[in-house]
Amino acid sequence: MLAPDLVSAVASLKKMVGAARVIVPFTGAGISTECGIPDFRSPGGIWTKNRPIPFEEFLASQEARNESWRRRFAMGDEFGHAQPGRGHQALASLYRAGKVPAVVTQNIDNLHQASGMAPEHVVELHGNTTYALCLDCTQRYELAWVRTRMQAGNGCAPDCPDCGGFIKTATISFGQAMPDAAMRRARELTLSCDLFLAIGSSLVVWPAAGFPLMAKQNGAHLVIVNREPIDFDDIADLVVREDIGTVFAPFVDGASSTDVHRV
Active site residue 121: no
Which of 121, 126, 221, 261 is catalytic? The answer is 126
What residues contact residue 141 under an 8 Å CB cut-off, 6+ apart? Answer: 131, 132, 133, 134, 160, 167
Beta bridge partners of 195: 23, 221
Classify each residue of 101-121 as buried b or exposed e, where b means 16 or more C-beta atoms within 10 Å of its C-beta: ebbbbbbbbbbbbebebeeee
- The Cα 110–Cα 129 span in angstroms is 8
Active site residues: 126
